[in-house]
Structure 1
Amino acid sequence: AMDSGRVEVDAETLALFGIRPADFDGRVETLLALTVPEDLPTLMSVVEPDHLSIGDRELDFRIRRPSGEPRWLRLRGRLLPGGDGHPARLVGTVSDASELRSGVNDVARVQRLAAALSTAGTVRDVSHAVVAALRKPLQADRIALAELEGERLVVTVLDPPEPDAWPELWRAEWRSEWPDAPVRTMPTLAAALREGRAAIWPSGTTLEPALADVGPGGLAVLPLPAGGRMAGACLIGWDDPHHFGPDERALLTAAAGLAGQALTRAHALDAEHELVGMLQRTLLPRRLPRLPGAVAVARYLPTTSGLEVGGDWYDVIPLPDNHVALVIGDVQGHNAGAATLMGQMRTALRAYAVEGHPPDVVVSLANRLLADMETDLFATCCYVDIDMEEGSAWYVRAGHLPPVLRHSDGSTEVVDAEGGPPLGVVRQADFPMSPLGLRPGTVVALTTDGLVESADLDIEDGLDRLAAGLAGSDPAHLGLTADALLADANRSDDVALLLTRYDGMALRPLRESWTVWRVPEAVRHARRFTRRVLRAWDVEEEADAALLVVSEMVTNALVHTDGRVRLDLTLVGRRLRIAVADNSPRTPIKPTSIGWEATGGRGILLVEAMSAVWGTVPVSGGKQVWCELPLSDTGGHRAADAAP
């Protein structure tokens, strides 16, 4: 009845809809609620025919019964007029059309699979989409999906995932390669891949052992074609005897074509993701160094949006005299150019730091370098120089977030001090240094804006949240602290985090320095200074070796360089470090051979022979040649009593 929506239906029609007569309320809406959404508009145009003429109607539509079973139905009817000439009643029959149409939900399954594959970004996403679209609708007991790499099939997903659900032969290569992986060892599978068509074997078919137990009641092998090649294969197996109808075969063929194309796209995307990740990992430190009197951990989270590679970086740089530089920075943009520039800036800052410049000079030199480069990008960074012996630190900000401190008593502090502009914006810029007071147990946190800023969070609130997270953390476990702080990170941007806990040095080195004047008695004065220092440090047995090394190193500096020469002696533990700095950047070269008549060239060979290790480092436009002499355990030196 068109006016009330009431409908009179016999028991046979209700059975088609899967409704018992006792449960039917007589409303047409109850029947319409079972209609597949895609077919509902057409069906509504029949039952609400405001603009339709009187006459016969015929329509096929799909329903999903309360049990979940899909079905095609065919409606044949006639619209009968009322007293005013408008349609008043729809009278007709409903019959089962499943035998006359393709599988009731095959089209919908393919549509849903196509939609799922269009958003699948990785090979694993594609595999799970195929499993979701096929296994339950086909009532299969197991599905395996694999990529074809050369002549080997590499498994991407097994469903169900439990090893016990699969033949024993599969378990040796569980979730890696196909059992007896070379395809040529499985003729049935090789033939299906060669022909490129879905192959179906009913119950009782003789197959090779690697395939037989996958589907004892029936097995379907779907080659996954893509662009003239085979991207992989999909196996679908049933335990109980399974009947393969023509509609099911058509569904499998359509699904295989969609999955093959998606698998190829996802494989290329995975390769690009791996390339981006490899680039990022290459530009960041592989591991952090061991620090005297401190522990540092770092975390980096790349953005999850697309294939973007970011410019966030961090670094920990050991410096002479037990200083350590902590660096964190961010280059504008998310692309290969930003990542490349990030690598250049990290290298430049490390080089300037190792040369021995103070923090403000290091950052100023990096700023000039970036300003002189032909790039439109800029960078921000925060540079912290910590004296591990004294527990003091100086830091410089170049448009970057300030450090956040967690003190030993659990209180936190967002350090607020003046900073300079981002690197590369103004060639001549000031980068003021600000002090940091550290006590044993203090944690220094450096991060990028991806951790403390998002569309819903401004930087100030984000820094406060970071400080609160540090306050509630256990500084004894920096790795767990870093992971907890990153738990709610904004994944639409890169995030770098560097945590350093200052513990203080258990053994503070003893240091003495001497400026070597260029006078005829210069070497004798240097030896006299060294003897006096070693006597004060109670170093007796190795004194002669140390005096010989000092003589050779000071002589080389005076003969081969100009300008100031400085001698530094350091005693820590059972090692004596002797270092001579001069104004020449040229590294001393060890001769490969020396004739008996030669009058020089033996200095470096003597230093190498007398010391455990030696080397040279650039220092402020010059260099420092150094060596270390191991001291005997019986020596009465005082370094062990020099704890802070």
Structure 2
Amino acid sequence: MSGANLAAVYLVNAETDELRVVHAAGGQAHYALPEVLPLSADSPVADAVRSHQPLWDDSAELASYHEGVPDLRRTVVSLGVVPLSPLPPGTVRGATGCLVVVNDALVGFESDRRILLELYAEQIASAMDVGAPRAAEGAGPATARERTLPLVHAGTFRLDRGSGRIDADQTLLELVGIPPETFDAHVESLIARVFLDDLPTFIAVVGRGKVTSDVGDLMFRVRRPSGEPRWLHLRCRVLTDSTGRSARVLGVVADTAYHSEEVEAAGLEELSRGLADALTVREVAEAVVRCLHRRLTADRVAFAGLQDDRLTVSVLEPPKPSEWPQIWRPDNRTEWLDAPLSDLPTLAAVLRSGRTAVWPAGSDLEQGLAGITQGGLAVLPLSAEGRMIGVFLVGWDTPHQLSATERAWLSVTAGRCSEAVGRTAAADTERERLRTLQKSLLPRELPEVYGAASVARYLPAADGPAMGGDWYDVFSLSDDHLALVVGDVQGHSAEAAAVMGRVSTAVRAYAAEGHPPDVVLARANRLLTGMKTGLFATCCFVSLDLEEGNAWFVRAGHPPPLLCQPDVAPETLDDTVGPPLGVVAEADFPMTMVDLVPGAVVALVTNGLVESARLPLEEGMRRMCDRIGAADPSDLRRMADDLIGGADRRDDAVLLLLRYDGLDLRPVRAGWRAWRLPDAVMHARRFTARTLRSWGVSEEMDAIQLVVSELVTNAVVHTLGDVRLDLTLAGDRLRVAVTDSLPRTPVKPTTVDWEATGGRGLLLIEAMSEAWGSVPVGGGKQVWSEIAVVPHTVPAPDVGTERSP
């Protein structure tokens, strides 16, 4: 294969930390290579095994070593050492041995020969990994030592993609059943021997024209002259030219006689049929996940797509996201499992290599992989048209040793899946773009607030486009108020998603300004009508007062909320409804108020969850009511998964759940309207002092009064109109808020020199506060500061306060 004068294989003896020759051909004694070499030796052979990196040296470089080098007195030689590594890239354990080649030549091994030798070493490692012994056990006759290494019957080829010319050695021609004297050096002659079912996968790698697969690990069948099939294992490298196009393929093809079994025809037909019917990358992934789950008796199989250096699980069997490590669900979400590739370095190494990898039970893996399974992990990278698009993860809960047949399944699946993705990737590009846009428009996490818990679920349509106009949002408002929004823009398209993004942003912005729910939807309605998109949107907006337990509902053509109070049958709140947004410019949106008791659950849904061609809206709402009443609200996430998972849906679906827990400690408040007089700040400080004394707050009095002074001074000096000071004590936090009529947010100075006469106020506020900020309120803003306090008495809400009318 390499034209070398000597080829030898060393394997590591883990008990003695030695490298021992288990096979040699071409004159080991002639070159004075030792039978046994310490793993710690100053030798190129030991160096390559320790570093897990190939080594290529000529005579000058070899002269610097002291042990385990060819006899340089006899001739000028070049030496190559390629580690044998059955374990995947990124694994802590080193190589299990190495392939050593020696050449009588001044010039070392050129690039193509190095690649072919590395591929041959991979074939040896693969053969070792399916059951052959991995280390020599003591000295003995040569024949006994040779039996510790599987015989790999392999041939090599070099293919020029443009011309289709292939340089195949005699061993390869023997494996595919072509007499050397009849071979015309065209790749089509090789392709003619491949089984019809395996042709698409094989041609995707070695065919002429544009490459559709970069797979480097492929199992395929050829027909022997007798008519019987022979399984062959191809490992190859696709090389590009100066323009980045695939120009050549270098490959090593090995017989799989060392496999104890073959991939059964029925399973192969099932996989081929599933991939042939797939029209999108997701459908390809679903077919492969089903196949691997069944054929490998795996406990868990998933496909994670790669997008912008982030892996997102889109297919999971069985569908139990809660069992995945926390790193894949950083905020306990279960609708999207994803993790940055930077947190999964071992997986990143496999994706860079593009090759199937298997870790046995007990392997040292990072938390994001080790937490998936305890009994072993297999990884199949998936590429198409020159880029890596995802990875399959296969895991077992108990220690599992892959059989030869199971390893063959991994190789067969990798090649066929890559070809199928190459066929469907172009058609799926638009769907992935829409899905990414949809994801980016929805909140990645919901706020955590004291007194309530919320969870949301979004699922795209089971059929049709990957994008719709459904959205949800949860955000905090001032004074212990929480806003919940669910909406649906007409249509399934990029335009619907874009309109959804604009409307949802407008609703949040109008609510943040302090407008009540009916005004928020009225303004959003005028905005959408003015955009003249021709699309309308439905929406349900809820404003919840966490302190009082009051919830105000307003609807714009949307399905009604569902309310489940403790010990009361669930009901739909469908008393009043306004028209959809974007239909009538001047429309009224009446509100409904209900009182919630601790433990109450509010559910907001979109039509896709409760309505279909076979299910009227009224019946769907009734069924949802029954299911909510039967669910356990103590685990809101599980409740959401159960509700959305069992729905009969064909459209996009959104479910937003909120459980009202109430406030154990109710805050006390005091407010004062500032007088625009020269001594306004003095009056503000007096009001603050009276209020804090009545609340039993004394130790932090000076800091709080300093913050009040700075906030009120800024409002009086820099704004016109009313200025209002509000104090709120909740537990061990005192909130100071000053509201004025200027909407511009105050900007903290980056530097303040000794000559400056202003600009220090916000720096003082920041130094005195646990947290501070600014929020829009109506036509102005509110600047707030929170200070940690230790109250000594139980305050009465109205003692010593002056409230504005």
| Alpha-carbon RMSD | 4.0
State yes or no: 1:552 paired with 2:734. Answer: no
Deviation at 1:402, TM superposition (A): 1.0
Task: Give me the whole-angstrom Cα distance separating, in 1, the residues matched to 2:412 and 2:520.
Answer: 60
Task: Give me the whole-angstrom Cα distance separating, in 1, the residues matched to 2:671 and 2:454.
Answer: 31
State yes or no: 1:591 paired with 2:749. Answer: yes
Normalised to the residue count of structure 2, the TM-score between the two structures is 0.51
State yes or no: 1:444 paired with 2:599. Answer: no
Task: Give me the whole-angstrom Cα distance separating, in 1, the residues matched to 2:455 and 2:688.
Answer: 39
Task: Give me the whole-angstrom Cα distance separating, in 2, the residues matched to 1:601 and 1:222.
Answer: 67
Task: Give me the whole-angstrom Cα distance separating, in 2, the residues matched to 1:220 and 1:486.
Answer: 35
SS in 2 for 1:277: helix
Equivalent residue, structure 2, for 1:510: 668
State yes or no: 1:532 paired with 2:690. Answer: yes
CA deviations 1:297-320 (Å, max 9, x no partner) are 111111121333111111111111
Equivalent residue, structure 2, for 1:320: 478
Equivalent residue, structure 2, for 1:233: 415
Task: Give me the whole-angstrom Cα distance separating, in 2, the residues matched to 1:548 and 1:261.
Answer: 70
Task: Give me the whole-angstrom Cα distance separating, in 2, the residues matched to 1:419 and 1:215.
Answer: 62
Amino acid at match of 2:355: L
Deviation at 1:636, TM superposition (A): 3.8
Distance 1:549 1:463, change over 3 A: same
State yes or no: 1:582 paired with 2:743. Answer: no
Distance 1:125 1:556, change over 3 A: closer
Further displaced range: 414-423 or 519-528: 519-528
Distance 1:362 1:130, change over 3 A: closer
Task: Give me the whole-angstrom Cα distance separating, in 2, the residues matched to 1:131 and 1:621.
Answer: 60
Distance 1:455 1:306, change over 3 A: closer
Task: Give me the whole-angstrom Cα distance separating, in 1, the residues matched to 2:737 and 2:615.
Answer: 51
**Do the aligned partners of 2:487 and 2:539 also contact (CA within 8 Å) in 1?**
yes
SS in 2 for 1:317: strand
Task: Give me the whole-angstrom Cα distance separating, in 2, the residues matched to 1:154 and 1:123.
Answer: 18
Task: Give me the whole-angstrom Cα distance separating, in 2, the residues matched to 1:507 and 1:129.
Answer: 52
Equivalent residues in 2 for 1:218-617, closer than 5 Å? 233=415, 262-268=420-426, 273-617=431-775
CA deviations 1:193-229 (Å, max 9, x no partner) are xxxxxxxxxxxxxxxxxxxx9489xx999999xxxxx
SS in 2 for 1:153: coil
Task: Give me the whole-angstrom Cα distance separating, in 1, the residues matched to 2:768 and 2:351.
Answer: 58
Equivalent residue, structure 2, for 1:123: 284
Amino acid at match of 1:458: P
State yes or no: 1:175 paired with 2:333. Answer: no
Task: Give me the whole-angstrom Cα distance separating, in 1, the residues matched to 2:607 and 2:796.
Answer: 44
Task: Give me the whole-angstrom Cα distance separating, in 1, the residues matched to 2:377 and 2:714.
Answer: 65
SS in 1 for 2:690: helix
Task: Give me the whole-angstrom Cα distance separating, in 2, the residues matched to 1:345 and 1:581.
Answer: 27
Amino acid at match of 1:328: V
Q: How many residues align?
A: 452
Distance 1:396 1:214, change over 3 A: same
Equivalent residue, structure 2, for 1:152: 354
Distance 1:388 1:118, change over 3 A: same
SS in 2 for 1:340: helix
Amino acid at match of 1:175: A
Further displaced range: 117-126 or 447-456: 117-126
Amino acid at match of 2:486: I
Task: Give me the whole-angstrom Cα distance separating, in 2, the residues matched to 1:607 and 1:131.
Answer: 60
Equivalent residue, structure 2, for 1:638: 795
Deviation at 1:613, TM superposition (A): 1.9
Which of these two proteins has the greater Rg computed from alpha carbons? Answer: 1
Stretches of structure 2 lacking an aligned partner (at least 5 in a row)? 1-224, 230-265, 296-304, 306-349, 362-373, 384-402, 800-805
Distance 1:306 1:546, change over 3 A: same
Deviation at 1:459, TM superposition (A): 0.8
Deviation at 1:114, TM superposition (A): 7.8
Stretches of structure 1 lacking an aligned partner (at least 5 in a row)? 1-98, 136-146, 164-170, 183-212, 225-231, 235-258
**Do the aligned partners of 1:573 and 1:639 also contact (CA within 8 Å) in 2?**
no
**Do the aligned partners of 1:573 and 1:640 also contact (CA within 8 Å) in 2?**
no
Normalised to the residue count of structure 1, the TM-score between the two structures is 0.63
**Do the aligned partners of 2:559 and 2:606 also contact (CA within 8 Å) in 1?**
yes
Equivalent residue, structure 2, for 1:166: none
Equivalent residue, structure 1, for 2:15: none
Further displaced range: 300-309 or 569-578: 300-309
**Do the aligned partners of 2:668 and 2:797 also contact (CA within 8 Å) in 1?**
no
SS in 2 for 1:395: strand
Task: Give me the whole-angstrom Cα distance separating, in 2, the residues matched to 1:312 and 1:276.
Answer: 13
Task: Give me the whole-angstrom Cα distance separating, in 2, the residues matched to 1:440 and 1:555.
Answer: 41
Task: Give me the whole-angstrom Cα distance separating, in 1, the residues matched to 2:747 and 2:267.
Answer: 75
Distance 1:445 1:619, change over 3 A: same
Deviation at 1:398, TM superposition (A): 0.7
Deviation at 1:602, TM superposition (A): 2.7
Equivalent residues in 2 for 1:8-157, closer than 5 Å? 117-121=275-279, 122-124=283-285, 127=288, 152-154=354-356
Amino acid at match of 2:354: R
Deviation at 1:577, TM superposition (A): 0.7
SS in 2 for 1:625: strand
Deviation at 1:154, TM superposition (A): 4.6
Distance 1:554 1:174, change over 3 A: closer
Distance 1:588 1:400, change over 3 A: same
Amino acid at match of 2:284: V
Task: Give me the whole-angstrom Cα distance separating, in 2, the residues matched to 1:640 and 1:528.
Answer: 18
**Do the aligned partners of 2:435 and 2:466 also contact (CA within 8 Å) in 1?**
no
Equivalent residue, structure 2, for 1:10: none
Task: Give me the whole-angstrom Cα distance separating, in 2, the residues matched to 1:607 and 1:112.
Answer: 68
SS in 1 for 2:566: coil
- Counting aligned pairs with the same residue, the percent is 52
Amino acid at match of 1:233: G
Task: Give me the whole-angstrom Cα distance separating, in 1, the residues matched to 2:623 and 2:375.
Answer: 49
Distance 1:177 1:572, change over 3 A: same
